[in-house]
Amino acid sequence: MGVNRTASVCLAGALAFGMAGLGTSAFAADMAVKAPYKAPEPEGLDVHGFIDISFKNDYITPRGLLVTNTGLTTQILGGFAWDLYKSKDGFINGVSVYTYVWNDLWSKQNHPKVGSWNEFDWAVGTSIKFAQHWKFGVEYVEFLSPPGHFSQERNVEFSLAYDDSWMGFPITINPYVKLFYEASGPSTVTTGKNGQIYDIEIGMVPTLGLKKYTGLPITLSAPTWITVGPAAYWNIGGNVCGANLCSTDNAGVFSTGLTAKWAVDIVPKRLGSWYAKAGFQYYHIINDNLLLAQTNTGTASSFATAHKDITVGFAGVGTNF
């Protein structure tokens, strides 16, 4: 934190020096005395927290691995974020760091030691807002399996997103791209290369706020993405899908859906900004190695019975402060 705060002060000082050098000299007798230029100071630092609880009929990863498809899936996300630098001026507009933990509970697991606790993830990351509308992020995240279904997976994700809300259109598109790099551990889709492999998620989050038009504090969004990458991410080589070798395609899964989020304004702001949400997310499996992977997770009894089209319904609540 100290390094970033120091960088903020240095940046403000450099701006002040550069701007002062731009002015032309003038005698005090010939013009009114002007106050010396003062560089804009960074805004105050903030600490934020967030909690989100979702209830789903299935658990499928963003990369298209169908993990569970029976019983109830409960997913709990919680964490903190620290704003280290904020400024409305200049090229860098914000720097923050964050950490979170994520848990997946599967009602049908019934493990003798951990019960329904199916997965535990933890992460640390940083995001940098720049040029007013862009955001770059880097996150280190580990996937852990309390019941021992898989070994520890260490990953790094890079993201770049664009906020087009400044254009003033009713619907914002919010395009983004993510590079997910698995540094070590077993294949995150169970059928591909173990470690030192990556995939890329290309997506957008079209969003419409209804309060302006209906008076209701509801926001609709349609998260949509496709994953692509080297064939080895899904196929380590020699995978057999039914009677034939599995494909060596470079596309993984396509997903789109609709989420409605209602801001619960009746809760005092001092207790956080609460919301309720509900919706669905549809997944179309493009890569048949992801169909084969369902036989590894137990969500399909054979390649022939694997699920190519999956719809996950969900509801939940959350807050941030």
| CATH code of 219's domain | 2.40.230.20
Neighbouring CB atoms inside 10 A of 216's CB total 11
Q: Is 32 inside a domain boundary?
A: no
Domain count, the chain: 1
Using the CB atoms, write b or e for 276-288: b if 16+ within 10 Å.
Answer: ebebebebebbbb
| Angle formed at CA 41 by CA 37 and CA 45, multiple of 5 degrees | 175
**Amino acid 36: pLDDT:** 55
For residue 25, the model assigns a pLDDT of 34
Euclidean distance between CA atoms 267 and 279, whole angstroms: 22
Note the pLDDT of residue 270.
Answer: 85
Note the pTM of the prediction, 2 decimals.
0.85
In-domain check, residue 50:
yes
Confidence of residue 27 (pLDDT cuts 50, 70, 90): very low
Reference 280, options 233, 220, 320; nearest CA is 220
Residue 142 belongs to some domain of the structure: yes
Q: Is 17 part of any domain?
A: no
pLDDT digits (tens, 9 = 90+) for 137-188: 999 999 999 999 999 999 999 999 999 999 999 999 999 999 999 999 999 9
User: Can you tell me whether residue 58 is helix, strand or coil?
Assistant: coil
Residue 14 lies in a domain: no
Evaluate whether residue 1 is within a structural domain.
no
User: 126 and 151 in contact (C-beta within 8 Å)?
Assistant: no
What pLDDT sits at residue 34?
46
Q: Quickly count: other Cβ atoms within 10 Å of residue 305's Cβ.
A: 11
Residue 242 lies in a domain: yes
pLDDT at 1: 36
Domain membership of residue 239 (yes or no) is yes
Range of the domain at 265: 42-320
Contact indicator for 161, 179 with CB cutoff of 8 Å: no
- Please report how many Cα atoms fall inside a 13 Å half-sphere around the Cα of residue 14, on the Cβ side: 8
